[in-house]
């Protein structure tokens, strides 16, 4: 991992620079309030080299908020993301929401001021798809489509050994607990987790956390899948007891909003994600969505007939 550098600018999102012999790429860029710190960290790591690519795991503000500031600093850099993300970032209401959430984040995490930027800079320049490989010269990045958190969620495998899974598979907290985040699809989240596991990476960079220790890697994917399934079971159990979505949300917050979660995620973001997961579970139940069953092996997943 000598060519993988943590350049995170501030709380609320992580950013890693991949330095190849010929090209460089940034994976996610965090929020706008800490763009100045991010740019300073990147410049130090680049040592006068150019930033060539900005890869986004999905279109949420805490992963793309610093893009306009990066484009001002490196105007020749190209933003790569999923086709769905490109469409989202052409919508004025989405751009307005991203800017407003960025302002809120500046108040929570930073000085309270978000430097104004041109919305035209917040866009995907090139679409990337499952199986695409970005050659940096002596280092490569493979794209994995991993929907479930969003429709545009992507994961990135560096040199066939270091995996940046997106939030679809869950987020690890400093306590080691995995929190599920399947906003758009439970069934796709399960499939995406198995897909990531099957890459059998030597290193994992967990979203909003960073590099996973060797100890935590041993059961990482099993814990991700268990967290997804636990959330689904909790929601369905309360639904079957006649709870409304609002009451399920209240009970979910009591059960899953622990001390570590309160330290790491604003309450509004927690509730929005939880509301989306509740709706997703109930929708997929009504559609009787089947989830492929797989058995765990050492670091890989194998499909079994059901």
Question: What pLDDT does 175 receive?
Answer: 81
Question: What pLDDT does 292 receive?
Answer: 58
Q: How far apart are CA 165 and CA 145, in angstroms?
A: 10
Q: How far apart are CA 192 and CA 148, in angstroms?
A: 7
**132-171 pLDDT tens trace:** 999 999 999 999 999 999 999 999 999 999 999 999 999 9
Q: Which of 43, 14, 44 is nearest to 29 (CA)?
A: 14
Question: What pLDDT does 113 receive?
Answer: 84
Q: How far apart are CA 236 and CA 203, in angstroms?
A: 34
Question: What pLDDT does 286 receive?
Answer: 84
For the entire predicted model, the pTM comes to 0.91
Tell me how far the alpha carbon of residue 236 is from its chain's centroid. Answer: 25
Domain boundaries, the chain: 4-217, 227-303
- DSSP per residue, the chain: -TTEEE---STT---EEEE-SS-EEEE----GGGHHHHHHHHHHHHTTPPP-EEE-S-S-HHHHTTHHHHHHH-TT-EEEE-HHHHHHTT-HHHHHHHHHHHHHHHHHHSSS------GGGSS-SEE--TT-EEE-SS-EEEEEE-TTSSTT-EEEEETTTEEE--GGG-EE-TTS-EE---SS-HHHHHHHHHHHHTT--SEEEETTTEEPPHHHHTTHHHHHHHHHHHHHHHHHHHHHTT--HHHHHHHHHHHH--HHHHHHS-HHHHHHHHHHHHHHHHHHHHHT-----EEE-SS-EEE---
The answer to whether the CB of 102 falls within 8 A of the CB of 61 is yes
Question: What pLDDT does 205 receive?
Answer: 97
Q: Which CATH superfamily hosts domain 4-217?
A: Ribonuclease Z/Hydroxyacylglutathione hydrolase-like (3.60.15.10)
Q: How far apart are CA 108 and CA 12, in angstroms?
A: 10
**Which residues of the chain fall short of a pLDDT of 70?**
289-306
Q: What tokens were used for 194?
A: 């198995």
The total number of residues written for the chain in this structure: 306
The answer to whether the CB of 296 falls within 8 A of the CB of 222 is yes
């Amino acid at each position: 991992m000598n060519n993988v550098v943590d350049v995170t600018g501030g709380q609320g999102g992580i950013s890693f620079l991949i330095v190849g012999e010929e090209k460089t790429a940034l994976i996610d860029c965090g929020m706008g309030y800490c763009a100045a710190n991010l740019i300073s960290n990147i410049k130090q790591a680049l040592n006068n080299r150019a930033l060539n690519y900005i890869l986004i795991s999905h279109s949420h503000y805490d992963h793309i908020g610093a893009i306009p500031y990066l484009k001002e600093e490196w105007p020749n850099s190209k933003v790569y993301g999923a086709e769905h993300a490109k469409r989202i970032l052409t919508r004025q209401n989405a751009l307005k929401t991203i800017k407003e959430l960025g302002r809120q984040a500046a108040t929570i995490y930073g000085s309270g001021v978000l430097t104004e930027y041109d919305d035209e800079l917040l866009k995907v320049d090139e679409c990337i798809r499952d199986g695409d490989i970005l050659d940096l010269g002596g280092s490569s990045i493979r794209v994995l489509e991993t929907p479930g958190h969003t429709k545009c969620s992507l994961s990135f495998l560096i040199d066939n050994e270091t995996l940046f899974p997106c939030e679809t598979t869950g987020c690890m907290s400093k306590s080691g607990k995995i929190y599920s985040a399947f906003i758009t699809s439970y069934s796709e989240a399960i499939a995406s987790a198995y897909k990531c596991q099957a890459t059998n990476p030597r290193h994992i960079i967990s979203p909003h956390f960073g590099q996973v220790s060797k100890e935590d890697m041993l059961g990482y994917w099993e814990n991700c899948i268990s967290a997804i399934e636990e959330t689904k079971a909790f929601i369905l159990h309360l639904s079957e007891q006649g709870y409304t979505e609002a009451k399920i949300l209240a009970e979910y917050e009591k059960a899953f909003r622990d001390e570590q979660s309160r330290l790491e995620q604003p309450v509004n973001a927690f509730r929005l994600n939880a509301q989306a997961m509740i709706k997703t579970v109930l929708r997929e139940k009504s559609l009787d969505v089947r989830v492929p069953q797989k058995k765990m092996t050492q670091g890989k997943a194998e499909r079994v007939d059901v």
